[in-house]
Amino acid sequence: MTLVKLLQDAELSSVLKGQGPFTLFAPTDKGFDALPADVLDKLSKDKALLKKVLSYHVVSGKILAKDLKNNELLDSVDNPEKLRINIYGQDVFATGRKVILPDNDASNGVVHMLNQVIYPVPTKNIVAEASTTPELSTLVYAVIRGNLQKTLTDGNFTVFAPNNAAFQKLPPGKLSDLLSNETALVSLLTYHVTEEVLYSGGLKDGQEVLTVEKSKLVISINGGVVKVGGATVVQADVSVTNGVIHVIDTVLTPPN
């Protein structure tokens, strides 16, 4: 099993053989195989990074699936970052990865099998992550002009984040008008944010999502293509410490 070998390489197997108890969110071999080849190569050559990634999948205590709570943050073993639990219907997700086989008993805890590896480990909040993403530079500038940095730091959110190309599609002068009108700018930006943490696994066709702006966005899914309010999600499930970012290709306009 790939996970067992990597745990040994990261010198974590001895920790997990301890008294515990532990809860291990264990990616399947297929989950590891789905990682890009360059990522697997990087992990195999960087023991510190490998240990950081794998330790993020382990929490102290024996926690059965029935005891996990939506938006719960769990302390990882030997990792300062917290693992996020989300529950969508009957499905349990760990930082956006689906638990496909829960509650496998072990002598010193329990194992929940995941369909994917949690990589990269989220270390930045929404604003910090967007600030280091070149294609979101216009959005970040608008957030600063709207004085929304603190708002998007204090709380848990999903952000449908228009990329730079989305802002370039606005009519001539529209962006300048928004940047000079803080009320309109804040209304538009908060229309892209919901206080629910919704990874892809929590999005359903026809679902209505209430935004911070207090209007609703409709999700549509067709042939694997996810749209929110008519905008297409071009990059999904960017994990951050206080939620998730989905990058979209069009700026959404609030109805009011």
Over range 41-53, report the average pLDDT.
93
Whole-model pTM: value is: 0.95
The 10s digit of each residue's pLDDT in 156-193 is: 999 999 999 999 999 999 999 999 999 999 999 999 99
pLDDT at 13 (0 to 100): 79
The 10s digit of each residue's pLDDT in 79-113 is: 899 999 999 999 999 999 999 999 999 989 999 99
Question: pLDDT at residue 1 above 90?
Answer: no
Alpha carbons 222 and 232: distance in angstroms, whole number: 11
Over range 131-145, report the average pLDDT.
98
Question: pLDDT at residue 213 above 70?
Answer: yes
Alpha carbons 40 and 99: distance in angstroms, whole number: 22
Count of CB atoms situated within 10 Å of the CB of 220: 16
C-beta of residue 78 within 8 angstroms of C-beta of residue 10: no
Identify the residue with better confidence: 16 or 220. 220
Average pLDDT of the chain, as a whole number: 95
6: pLDDT confidence band, cut at 50, 70 and 90?
Answer: confident
pLDDT at 4 (0 to 100): 84
19: pLDDT confidence band, cut at 50, 70 and 90?
Answer: confident
Domains of the chain in start order, with CATH, are 2-114 (2.30.180.10), 126-248 (2.30.180.10)
